Structure 1
Amino acid sequence: MKRAQASTDEISKKPGVPLHHQLFLVLKDQILRGLYEPGAQIPTEDQLGALFNVSRITVRRAVSDLHAQGLVVKRHGHGTFVRQEVPAARPPATLGFIELLRKQAQDTSVKVLRIALEQPPALISLNLHLDPGLAAIHAIRLRSAKGTPVMVIDAWLPEDVGGRLTNLDLRERAMHEILLDQGAKFGRVVQEITAVPAIPELAQQLRTEVGSPLLRISRLLYDVGQRPLLHTTIYVSPDRSRVLADIPIGSMNTFSAGQIAHDAHNGHWT
């Protein structure tokens, strides 16, 4: 049996995500990655409490959440064991950017939360090369898979690019397909991925807890003439979603495959 290597520094006691949910996320990740194999016993309540420096009540709530998701089974007098039917590892990415977006659109349903001409934040205006004070099209959509919300998409477009967008368009087609039909020719996409806590509005939309971790994917889409056409910010819960990338081998270890930017030198970390 593989034994997970965990430490108390994986649980933060700062205000934010409840301790039991943090512990649940850690244990779930260890189970799904095979650190606890199907049929293996996970540590006892006392052992988990000591390992993560949390109370027995916190451990019980975390283990109950694992049980509710079908990841573990409790055997009275024997302990808690990983189910034999734990979901298999998900397959790796094999789709290009446009194909991935198309499949994403096909596999989910859409609710349009907002579409309006609004004044964008300063950073959005800068990214879209808009003159100060110039309004832009703002569209927010919620995508769900089998009734479960999985993604909030917050998009901004210059008015001359997105001025013809309708509520029906946004419900029935992906944004890139709409732009392609309007004659857009895509050149490149600059993407940034980071982790953020769920603010109340996003927590409500994604049916998760306030302060729980979300992945934020920011994309700036350019046309072949290097004009920015679309700024999109996507929020997903790592409980339900993951980010896939299909990178040609020749692009490995180049800027095309992405880079990790560190902000420590700017004094953001303590």
Structure 2
Amino acid sequence: MGMPLHERIAADVRRQIASGELAVGAPVPSESQLCATWDASRGPVRQALATLRAEGLIGGGRGKPPVVRRQGLSQPFDTFLSFSRWVEGLGRTPGQRTMEVARRPATAEVADPLHIDEGAPVVQLLRLRLIDDRPTMVERSTFTEGAGRLLFDFDCDSGSIYAYLASCGIDITVAHHMIDAVAADATDSELLGVPVGAPLLRERRLARGAAGEEIEYSDDRYRGDMISFSIENSQQAALPALVRSLSQTGKKPAS
């Protein structure tokens, strides 16, 4: 079944905002204009605009045309995209600096979610992720040996690891995400340019292949002044949509 109309309308306006086609402060197309563009009734259009308001992308008082409040980058986590694809898909430039790729025995912390024995060999990756050259997230990924050993033949600074693994026949198709907050440790502080103890948003992710096999366990720590997470749900929805957003303070520098 295709995406509901209100979601398609919201996605298109969101794309226009992210690309700069609709700049911060610019008026959003009116309900009448959106109805004509999409050959839609006012119901789906109003639902789409309500979604964008809830995300903080648009605002405006009652009876006044909505305007763009911020140029946010959002990704619903019910669509599983790598960091690189998320950023590229919204017209921004992803980047990465690989600090370490190492083969180690698995600790209990990573062995349990990966369903392997403690002490079994794994490959661990430490990378700094960037958006438009701005330090945004510290990525600590642990791969099972079969997938991880492929990384020794790959330049991890060259792009998406998931895309590379897919080219090698390892498709990561499903992930479970856990979101919480942690204090920045010394490594986070150095890489992200924040004080030790500063609050960071953490996404722990267990990624699986098409057959359900565990492939990666990751601990990703985002700067809270750049990235936010929100939940969109309804009484009718079976599952809520978790959305990752780039805040206005992390907006693309003017050219």
TM-score category, normalised to shorter length: 0.5 to 0.7
Whole-Å separation in 1 of the counterparts to 2:236 and 2:84: 21
Corresponding residue for residue 19 of structure 1: none
Check the 8 A contact 1:251/1:257 in 2, yes or no: no
Which protein has the larger Cα radius of gyration, Structure 1 or Structure 2? 1
Cα distance change, pair 171–97 in 1 and its aligned pair in 2 (3 A): same
Corresponding residue for residue 162 of structure 1: 148
Matches within 5 A, 1:160-239: 160-166=146-152, 168-239=154-225
Cα distance change, pair 158–144 in 1 and its aligned pair in 2 (3 A): same
Corresponding residue for residue 43 of structure 1: none
Local SS of the residue matching 2:156:
helix
CA deviations on 1:126-149 (whole Å, 9 max, x unpaired) are 111112321200011111234321
CA deviations on 1:22-54 (whole Å, 9 max, x unpaired) are xxxxxxxxxxx79xx9xxxxxxxxxxxxxxxxx
Check the 8 A contact 1:219/1:232 in 2, yes or no: yes
* Residue from 88, 94, 98 that aligns with 2:69: 88
Check the 8 A contact 2:124/2:143 in 1, yes or no: yes
Whole-Å separation in 2 of the counterparts to 1:94 and 1:152: 18
Check the 8 A contact 1:203/1:210 in 2, yes or no: yes
Tell me which amino acid in the other structure corresponds to 2:164: I
RMSD: 3.1
For structure 2, the residue ranges without an aligned partner over 5 or more in a row are 1-55, 61-67, 243-255
Whole-Å separation in 2 of the counterparts to 1:132 and 1:204: 30
For structure 1, the residue ranges without an aligned partner over 5 or more in a row are 1-32, 38-86, 259-270
TM-score by length of 2: 0.59
Tell me which amino acid in the other structure corresponds to 2:152: T
Instruction: Give the drift of 1:111.
Output: 0.7
Corresponding residue for residue 125 of structure 1: 111
Whole-Å separation in 2 of the counterparts to 1:250 and 1:176: 34
Whole-Å separation in 2 of the counterparts to 1:130 and 1:193: 23
More strand by share: 2
Tell me which amino acid in the other structure corresponds to 1:184: I
Whole-Å separation in 2 of the counterparts to 1:191 and 1:138: 19
Tell me which amino acid in the other structure corresponds to 1:102: R
Structure 1 position 103 matched with structure 2 position 86: yes
Tell me which amino acid in the other structure corresponds to 2:80: F
Structure 1 position 252 matched with structure 2 position 237: yes
CA deviations on 1:135-167 (whole Å, 9 max, x unpaired) are 200011111234321111111011111112137
Whole-Å separation in 1 of the counterparts to 2:138 and 2:99: 9
Instruction: Give the drift of 1:250.
Output: 9.6
Instruction: Give the drift of 1:249.
Output: 7.5
Whole-Å separation in 2 of the counterparts to 1:244 and 1:225: 30
Whole-Å separation in 1 of the counterparts to 2:114 and 2:241: 23
Check the 8 A contact 1:185/1:223 in 2, yes or no: yes
CA deviations on 1:100-132 (whole Å, 9 max, x unpaired) are 641336622211100010123202011111123
Whole-Å separation in 2 of the counterparts to 1:136 and 1:99: 21
Check the 8 A contact 1:218/1:234 in 2, yes or no: yes
Cα distance change, pair 94–118 in 1 and its aligned pair in 2 (3 A): closer
Local SS of the residue matching 1:170:
coil
Whole-Å separation in 2 of the counterparts to 1:181 and 1:196: 34
Deviates more, 1:95-104 or 1:229-238: 95-104
Whole-Å separation in 2 of the counterparts to 1:114 and 1:215: 22
Cα distance change, pair 242–167 in 1 and its aligned pair in 2 (3 A): farther
Check the 8 A contact 1:115/1:167 in 2, yes or no: no
